[in-house]
Chains A and B, each alone.
Chain A
Amino acid sequence: MSYLEVRDLVYVYEDGTRALDGINLSIDEREFIGLLASNGGGKTTLLKAVVGLFKARPGSILIDNKPLSKLKRIDLARAIGLVFQNPNDQLFASTVEEDVSFGPRNLGLTDAEVEERVETALEMVDMLAHRRKPIHHLSFGQQKRVCIAGVLAMRPRILLLDEPTAGLDPKSEANLLHILGRLNKEAGVTIVMATHMVDLIPLFVDRIFVLKEGRITIEGTPDTVFSSTQVMEEVDLRLPYITHLIEELKHKDQLPFDKLPLTLKDARSKLVSLMPDNIFSGSE
């Protein structure tokens, strides 16, 4: 049985926009899931429905086999955490440690337990050195990491992230994704990341759900989802740049690729294997 199960979920905004239109998905523990969609595809609405901020009807959401509507708020907070896209939505306290300690204190933990959780969560996102800093003195990337720490300190079994890399420079983006990868692989946190960033996602996720107009149109491993340009164009997305290049080489230059590589590392090893041996030893 999956840890998170969404069945036939529908959500219609007051203006009649059908943001979710019969969503079905199931997520197991320790999985790293990518929720891929172009703008307005329904990613944020789905995340907010899963944490109970939007009451989606009809349809049902089961967390650990219990209906979401039957869970107490405190149990829901222990089960699932959402990191908002805009750090200002989430970070309200004066200092980093005050903000991160907010959730654990609401769980009724002792001061020592709160302190331990704050320290561990900040360490996980490499922000321990900044614990006494005021929030408004942090860079945007640091604020994002504190947001994640604030949710991690609740020790949820699933961490949902709404466009965690939006607005970050390439270095901070890669840094953040490595932190998430580490959380998933080493700490065993189940991660669901909503994004439209196709270039880095194949490096980390186990499965991808592609949303278009409130429906899941493709589902599967990165290899399945990024199988061709045509498939991606149908959902208003694109292939990772490196995959697109290899696809062009395959179709326009007839280079013999059986499977499209999704990462630089894979593409490099494929290309190297196709090159004649003497190309690497200069003029010899």
Chain B
Amino acid sequence: MRRHNVEIFSDYFAQRSNVLTAIDARVKLFFVLAVLVLVLVSKDLPILITVMFASLGALVMIGIPPKMVLARLAAPLFMAGVILLLQGLFFGETPIYTLEAMGLSVPLYREGIEKGILIAGRVLAGTSSIIFLSMTTPLHKILSALKFLRVSEEWLAVLAFAYRYIFVFIEEAQSIMDSQRLRLGYRGLLTGLRSWGTLVGSLFARVFDQAQATHDAMLLRGYNGAIYIERPQALRRSDLSAGILFSSLFLLLLTLDFYWR
């Protein structure tokens, strides 16, 4: 359980050596940002589906187990489902199906479902392209690329800290939960809620302790308010070729979007 949770967030696959991880982070970042803009403005479901399958398919092609890719997609998939349902329930005028439950009739509207499918498509296409980036690029390289884009160093430092300590706190939360579970802390609804509350409270306290300890350790190594983020290296010929390939793919998507519209 613990291992699984950590692996979902881990950049283990981004650390491996393959054709996608070898590409400079700036090239991938530019491509993904461009795709995200396209996903936001596009109203064509086929484009969104293409982006999603291309992103996830590329990950499977470099040897990432489909299960792991799906595990990362699970949360956005759930969100997309909720959005689809809510849109269908609350927006539109033309009922296409009526849900009967406990003597109540709840209609689902065609217009809402159509809009919901589009939004869910955007959610899934957008998150898939971000999953593509995160599973092929270690965070420190993404930070370097963001530094190249002149993103504020303070933001980058916060991002770096969040990334470093998320694994520590997932493990910490899991240990507390395991210890509660072994002492029947989740036996019933009320007990479970109480245990959950204690877990969250303890975790907050540990976050503050950790912040203090880390700050102390940083001060002892001369911390002066700045966190160094590595400068990206010069682009290689292979990065330029990848850039050309990604640009062509993006232009193809734009063209298809224009024609399908």
- Give the interface of B toward A (CB within 8 A): 10-12, 15, 138-140, 143, 160-161, 163-165, 167-168, 210, 213-214, 216-224, 226-228, 230
The answer to whether A134 touches B160 (Cβ under 8 A) is no
The answer to whether B140 touches A95 (Cβ under 8 A) is yes
The answer to whether B167 touches A136 (Cβ under 8 A) is yes
- For this complex, 5 residue pairs linking A to B, each with C-beta atoms less than 8 Å apart, are A53-B216, A94-B138, A102-B223, A105-B228, A106-B224
- Closest-by-CB residue of B relative to A102 is B221
Chain A nearest CB, measured from B19 CB (Å): 19
- Closest-by-CB residue of A relative to B221 is A103
Chain B nearest CB, measured from A14 CB (Å): 14
Known: A88-B168, A94-B164, A95-B140. A106 touches B221 (CB 8 A): yes
Known contacts A81-B220, A107-B222, A134-B138; 18 additional CB pairs below 8 A are A53-B219, A77-B222, A82-B217, A88-B214, A92-B160, A92-B161, A92-B164, A94-B138, A94-B139, A94-B160, A95-B138, A98-B228, A101-B228, A103-B222, A105-B226, A106-B224, A134-B15, A134-B139
Question: Cα distance A145–B243 when bound, in Å?
Answer: 39
User: What 1/0 mask marks residues of chain A from 93 to 127 whose CB sits below 8 Å from any chain B CB?
Assistant: 11100100111011100000000000000000000
Q: Say whether chain B's binding surface is mostly helix, strand, loop, or mixed.
A: helix
Q: Which residues in A have their C-beta under 8 angstroms from that of B139?
A: 94, 134
Q: Which residues in B have their C-beta under 8 angstroms from that of A89?
A: 210, 213-214, 216-217
The answer to whether A51 touches B220 (Cβ under 8 A) is yes
Q: Which residues in A have their C-beta under 8 angstroms from that of B226?
A: 105-106
Q: Is residue A37 within 8 Å, beta carbon to beta carbon, of the partner chain? A: no
The answer to whether B230 touches A106 (Cβ under 8 A) is no
Q: Which residues in B have their C-beta under 8 angstroms from that of A77?
A: 220-222
Q: Which of B165, B217, B227 contacts A90 (CB 8 A)?
A: B217
Q: Which residues in B have their C-beta under 8 angstroms from that of A136?
A: 10, 164, 167-168
User: What 1/0 mask marks residues of chain A from 42 to 58 whose CB sits below 8 Å from any chain B CB?
Assistant: 00000010010100000
Chain A nearest CB, measured from B181 CB (Å): 23
**Size bracket of the A interface:** 20 to 34
- Closest-by-CB residue of A relative to B223 is A106
Question: Cα distance A150–B217 when bound, in Å?
Answer: 10
Question: Cα distance A136–B139 when bound, in Å?
Answer: 12
Chain B nearest CB, measured from A98 CB (Å): 6
The answer to whether A106 touches B222 (Cβ under 8 A) is yes
Q: Is residue A73 within 8 Å, beta carbon to beta carbon, of the partner chain? A: yes
Q: Which residues in B have their C-beta under 8 angstroms from that of A93?
A: 160, 164, 227
Q: Is residue A35 within 8 Å, beta carbon to beta carbon, of the partner chain? A: no
User: What 1/0 mask marks residues of chain A from 136 to 161 whose CB sits below 8 Å from any chain B CB?
Assistant: 11000000000000110010000000
Q: Is residue A275 within 8 Å, beta carbon to beta carbon, of the partner chain? A: no
Q: Is residue A74 within 8 Å, beta carbon to beta carbon, of the partner chain? A: yes
Known: A98-B140, A102-B228, A134-B138. A92 touches B222 (CB 8 A): no
- Closest-by-CB residue of A relative to B10 is A136
Q: Is residue A135 within 8 Å, beta carbon to beta carbon, of the partner chain? A: yes
Question: Cα distance A133–B11 when bound, in Å?
Answer: 11
Question: Cα distance A105–B164 when bound, in Å?
Answer: 20
